[in-house]
Amino acid sequence: MMSNQILFAILLLAPFVGFMFNGIRWKSHNATLAGVVATFAVFVSFVCSLLLVSQLFGANAVPSVGTRFFEWMNVGGLQVQAGFVIDHISAIMVLVVTGVGTLIHMFSIGYMSHDERPSKYFAYLNFFLFNMLLLILGENLLLMFVGWEGVGLCSYLLIGFWFTDSEKAAAGMKAFITNRIGDAGFLLGIFTLFFLFGTVNFSEIIARLPAGGIEMGWTGPMTVACLFLFVGATGKSAQIPLYVWLPDAMAGPTPVSALIHAATMVTAGVYMIVRLNPLFLMAPNALHVVAVVGAATAFFAATIGLTQWDIKKILAYSTVSQLGYMFLACGVGAFGAGLFHVMTHAFFKALMFLGSGSVIHAMHEEQDVRKMGGLRKYLPITHATFFIGWLAIIGIPPFAGFFSKDEILWQTASSPLGHKALWVVGVLTAGITSFYMTRLMCLTFWGKSRVPKETHPHEAPPVMWIPLAVLAVLSTVGGWIGIPKVMLGGEDNWLERWFHHVIAPVPEALGHAVHSHALEWAAMGVSLSFAVIMACLAYTFYVSNPSLPGRLAQKFHGTYRLIYNKYFVDEFYFARIINPLIDASKGLWAYVDVNFIDRTTYVLGDVVRGVGSTAKSFQTGNLQQYAMYIAVGLAVTMFLILR
Amino acid sequence: MLLSVITLLPLAFALVMLVLPEKVIRPVALLLAVVEFAVSLLLLTSFDKASPAIQLVEQIPWVPEMGISYFLGIDGLSLWLVILTTFLTPIVVLGSWTAIDNRIKGFHAALFVLQTSMIGSFLAMDAVLFYVFFELSLVPMYFMVGIWGGQRRIYATVKFFIYTMAGSLMMLLAIIYLMFACRDTFGQMSASLLDFYRLKIPFVAGEFLNPQTLLFFAFSLAFAIKVPMFPVHTWLPDAHVEAPTPGSVILAGVMLKMGSYGFLRFVLPMFAEASQYYAWLFLFLGVVGIIYGALVAMVQPDIKKLIAYSSVSHMGYVMIGLFSLNMYGVSGSLYQMLNHGISTGALFLLIGMIYERTHNREIAKYGGLAKALPIYTIIFIIVTMSSIAVPMTNGFIGEFMILLGTFEASRPFAIAAVTGVVLGAVYMLWMVKRVFFGPAGELVRDEHHPLHDLNARELTVMAPLVVLIFWMGLNPNFFLDYSKASLDHFVKNRDNYRLAVSPAQPKLENVAVRGEAQ
Amino acid sequence: MPINPEAWKVGLDHYLYLSSLLFIFGMLGVLMRRNVIVILMCIELMLNAVNISFIAFSRYAESTNGQVMVFFVMTIAAAEAAVGLALAVTVFKKFKEVNIRFFEHLKG
């Protein structure tokens, strides 16, 4: 049995070695070699994490496995170890990330086979995974922050992977900068926590939480810390108001969107909140903010998803919306449900993104769904897997999405931190999700083909469809670990038991949860039937009666335009924040630096020069005048002395 | 002996430069600079990192009547700055291999004189000696900008000289005042810093006209101009833009640190009450500098000017770290000084390399460089990441500790300073986007002058910098350990700061620190 | 009218009056005349005025110090006259005139 330290080292370093391998031979065009090495590296990580996670099971189960490599920073009271830990929370994340990561790497081998720089791509992808593992496994906030910024950097590099296109490079930049705003908040959160608890270590912070010291106001240190951290989460996890980067991030290669911008990186914010769940439970007001922002984002992004034509943009807005769900779950104190949704979402959204990658690949880089349709007969496997993903996301039992989404909605309704209004928003969002996802299915796979004649879609090679198939299986069975209590006859499901020690229940001081089986069945029925109705409606709109949506858009022209243009949020940011900032900076440069400070110093210089030129006029060169000065000076001196 | 050797060896090298034939100047200069670096590394072995005292002390009376002596010593505050200086010099020599093509004799001589003056000011433990070295550094830099500089070099060099000179005259007055204060307190004039530390200078809170406040501002003005702090920073962009690449590297890499080091060595410990009382002012100006520098950098059309303004922003971090007056902030500042030397030095070198190829620095004329010069791009992006403080690079450690310290000292200022984290990313990445990404720009697609990627020499120049960027980011303890004792002593005893002379030094019986008896 | 021998006796003050008168004449000449030769002569006059007061003081103080000083002054006057005349000659050679305004180029 290898020691845990070695296992951790391999787990972390395998992707790094892959990164170095591909990074050094970045000029190589050999996609297969690069891809296989990269995939293998991630697979090694997956195996290591399985071995480590297995120690949490069974008779000799330990609450967590961890190791420390070296002391990273030691200044004053701040001691930061390069230490890593797998507990019941990070176990799920690490398995999802390395597992789904392996599949996406594998998919990439096919997807990037014709690219100019496949080695560079795989190097970045492996480096991303390395950073993601730091983020997940780091035992303290600082290591998490290292990974947090590291994944942001990789995201920047991968979004701008095809950098010769100015727009793609700009999208990468936008992602990085928007994330940086969040990161600034995260930093402030770290500072607040450090000065509050004297440590940045997760387990120590949680151990030092004041017992029963729930902060009710807005200005308590824990509330402030939680809000700062949540700012970080809104950046990384694309919540209002910082979500704008994620749709643009679709400029990157599609597997990147699947891995980074759907399955793993963007869920980091949720993961961070879950990791600190006892802390957040101390600050109910912060949780309310989380819940409201989450619900608002979920709804808001879903409506934008209704009108988009780019297959990846639709999925991107769907991702933003689903992330909103996860925050909603956290906000109502259902952290387990939030993490559960992270997992199922990773399965089905990765599946759908890879499916869309397969479609785009087949359509020769075409992303507009208006030019697709009827692809079912060309891409049977992709269609089948996408179909499962569709069932999962709209929440049809027994597919994965149903269980996690239902758990979130029920907790929203029943938790003492939840609210009926939030539940209504959640259900509405579920309906809209169902509508636009069905729309996507109809426009892409079903109905009449609108494929241009010169394109000949073809099914993907096995290296691409095998990951799809595996993900489809996971999207089907992945939710079964969290079957609601009412269905199991009142017994706790596996997930409940798994999270038992690491996720704190909502403190009793905040109120009591509603327990009513009838109500739970009813809520489930309402949301399910609503989703099905919306799906049928979408089918009617886009397959049976394809002219209807156009007419509706005509009729509600203003609203449609507003939503189609994403509520003009980007335009608003440009007009009200970015451009004024640039203008102000130019003003500062021209007026403060050049015209004010420099002018002021010139004035000082001019004074000196003026005095000089006045003095200069005495020095005419006329010797007799000088003699006169001497004489007068002498006379004055004599007078003064002899007076 | 070691300190004198390190200080004066470059001066000897400068003389060697003058007698050598032009042909061999460059290789010999490189060799000598490397020798100097190797000698300075001996410091790491003979330095006792557990002791906060000044070590390896050398003291020879110079003007005994006034208590001025040739007094060198080193402690954790100055150790890394000295090594940074000796480290950057060979890099600059190699980096200017082709950039400087006329009067190379004079250039290298000036470079070595500059090195002596910089090392001297970091090691001097005597205020007058410090002043001599501090001012001496202006002369070679004046010629460096004035002779090998760009179009408006005379304007820039005069501006640089007068700004710095104006500030340091105030400091000279203050030093003279302190020397007389020593006479009044200890019975004999002294310019030794150790004696200065022991002075009790009267301070009245809230009033401007009292000795400590006036001295505090006199010193602060001199150093603030050197740093440079907002609003006395405007010499820097001009000097940087007009300076030749090696001049910019030395200027940004080391000379600016003479200012922040001055704060650390003189202002904060000597005028403890005043610096505590006026800390808010410097925190404010530092934060304004961070934001202002970043905003103005954002809209610069010239790459080099952009980096120059980014220096204003980065040095703003150093200042708020120092004036947070706690362990985190001060350690972070010291670290950030080194970081800034390395990352901004590297950026100037990189800009020099591209300037040699295209003779243009206008951002708008670039674009798509990443495709034309991939290796150059990789290195540039690594350095950019260091500059915007991405974790695992050195920049993060410094910036994190500074912000942590500032947060402890004053939350509003910390929150304001954190916006610099965002703005830093904005101006750097926007520049990177416009220069490296997108379609090929005017200069890049010029078929008559195809661009070549970095050659072996240029890679050799950049390699040590890149290695250090990661080394300092991944193992900051190695660097911090040497300074920890001094910094700890500094922060804990600032109100009553004393520096002892390390007892482990031989031959110290006859070098009685004056005034000890009183 | 009886002659008061005391009133007619030449005393120190008379010498000093003479000396000052000569000095003032010399000074006015230096300040006002344009011709360099005349100016040099006026300087000579001023120096000799000083010499007179030296000798007078020397006589009345019964000390030879003043007379020694006079020798110095005379030597210097000679040297000065030599240099001054040389300059005047050079100026004359260049400008065909010895006007003082040709010396006006020395200015800031």
Mean pLDDT for the stretch of residues A1-18 = 86
CA-nearest of A314, A198, A257 to A563 is A314
Going along chain C from its start, the domains and CATH numbers come out as: 12-103 (1.10.287.3510)
pLDDT at A501: 81
Per-residue pLDDT reduced to its tens digit, B109-124: 999 999 999 999 999 9
Instruction: Select the residue of B237, B385, B437 nearest A169 (Cβ to Cβ).
Output: B437
Mean pLDDT for the stretch of residues B373-399 = 91
Per-residue pLDDT reduced to its tens digit, B271-322: 988 999 999 999 999 999 999 999 999 999 999 999 999 999 999 999 999 9
pLDDT at B513: 46
Residues of chain A contacting C102 with CB distance shorter than 8 Å: none
Residue B416 belongs to domain spanning: 278-498
Stronger pLDDT, B221 or A559, i.e. the higher one? B221
The answer to whether the CB atoms of A619 and C101 lie below 8 A apart is: no
Chains with ≥3 Cβ pairs under 8 A against C?
A: A
Residues of chain A contacting B331 with CB distance shorter than 8 Å: 75-76
Per-residue pLDDT reduced to its tens digit, A187-232: 999 999 999 998 899 989 988 888 877 888 888 889 999 999 999 9
Per-residue pLDDT reduced to its tens digit, A35-72: 999 999 999 999 999 999 988 887 777 888 888 888 88
Share of chain A above pLDDT 90, in %: 35
Structure tokens at A197: 């608890």
Chain C contact for A626 (CB, 8 A cutoff)? no
pLDDT at A585: 86
Per-residue pLDDT reduced to its tens digit, A532-558: 999 898 888 888 877 777 788 888 888
CA-nearest of A527, A335, A519 to A426 is A527
| DSSP codes of every residue in A375-413 | GGGT-HHHHHHHHHHHHHHHT-TTSHHHHHHHHHHHHHH
Per-residue pLDDT reduced to its tens digit, B478-501: 999 999 889 999 988 888 888 888
Stronger pLDDT, B407 or A507, i.e. the higher one? B407
> Does residue C70 surpass a pLDDT of 70?
yes
Measured CA to CA, the distance from residue A348 to residue C98 in angstroms comes to 108
Domain ranges across chain A: 140-559, 570-642
> Does residue C57 surpass a pLDDT of 80?
yes
Task: Please report, for residues A388, B353, B459, the alpha-carbon distance to residue B455 in angstroms, rounded to integers and kept in the order given.
Answer: 54, 10, 6
The H or E element that residue B56 is part of is strand B55-63
Share of chain B above pLDDT 90, in %: 50
Task: Please report, for residues A100, B16, B23, B104, B352, the alpha-carbon distance to residue B27 in angstroms, rounded to integers and kept in the order given.
Answer: 55, 13, 9, 12, 20
Q: How high does pLDDT run on average in chain C? A: 86
The reply to whether B319 falls in a domain is: yes
Residue burial B423-442, b: 16+ Cβ < 10 Å; e: rest? bbbbbbbbbbbbbbbbebbe
Instruction: Select the residue of A620, A621, A624 nearest C30 (Cβ to Cβ).
Output: A624
Measured CA to CA, the distance from residue A109 to residue A33 in angstroms comes to 9
Chain C contact for A631 (CB, 8 A cutoff)? yes
Residue type, B107: F
Measured CA to CA, the distance from residue A628 to residue C27 in angstroms comes to 9
Mean pLDDT for the stretch of residues B246-259 = 91
**pTM (2 decimals)?**
0.88
Mean pLDDT for the stretch of residues C40-67 = 91
Confidence of residue A32 (pLDDT cuts 50, 70, 90): confident
Give the number of residues written for chain C: 108
Contact B163, B225 (CB under 8 A): yes
Instruction: Select the residue of C31, C100, C101 nearest A628 (Cβ to Cβ).
Output: C31
Domain count, chain B: 1
Q: Left, alpha or beta for B505 (phi > 0: left; psi -120 to 50: alpha)? A: beta
Residues in CB range of B201: below 8 A, 6 or more apart: B181, B211, B212, B215, B270, B271
Q: How many helices (H) and strands (E) does chain B have?
A: 23, 2
Mean pLDDT for the stretch of residues B379-405 = 92
Chain A contact for C108 (CB, 8 A cutoff)? yes
Measured CA to CA, the distance from residue A470 to residue A481 in angstroms comes to 17
Residues of chain B contacting A164 with CB distance shorter than 8 Å: 368, 370-371, 437-439
pLDDT at B514: 43
The reply to whether B415 falls in a domain is: yes
Confidence of residue C2 (pLDDT cuts 50, 70, 90): low
pLDDT at A1: 47
Contact A485, A492 (CB under 8 A): yes
pLDDT at B348: 93
Residues in CB range of A332: below 8 A, 6 or more apart: A287, A291, A411, A412, A415, A417, A418, A422
Q: Residue A179's closest chain B neighbor by CA?
A: B422
Measured CA to CA, the distance from residue B139 to residue B304 in angstroms comes to 23
> Does residue B509 surpass a pLDDT of 60?
no
| DSSP codes of every residue in A466-482 | HHHHHHHHHHHHGGGGG
Per-residue pLDDT reduced to its tens digit, B449-464: 778 888 899 999 999 9
pLDDT at C105: 67
The answer to whether the CB atoms of B292 and A588 lie below 8 A apart is: yes
pLDDT at B67: 87
> Which residue in this structure is represented by tokens 């729309």?
A439
Chain A contact for B331 (CB, 8 A cutoff)? yes
pLDDT at B297: 92
CA A76 centroid distance within chain: 33
The reply to whether B303 falls in a domain is: yes
Confidence of residue A268 (pLDDT cuts 50, 70, 90): very high
Contact B391, B473 (CB under 8 A): yes
Share of chain A above pLDDT 70, in %: 100
Mean pLDDT for the stretch of residues B379-402 = 92
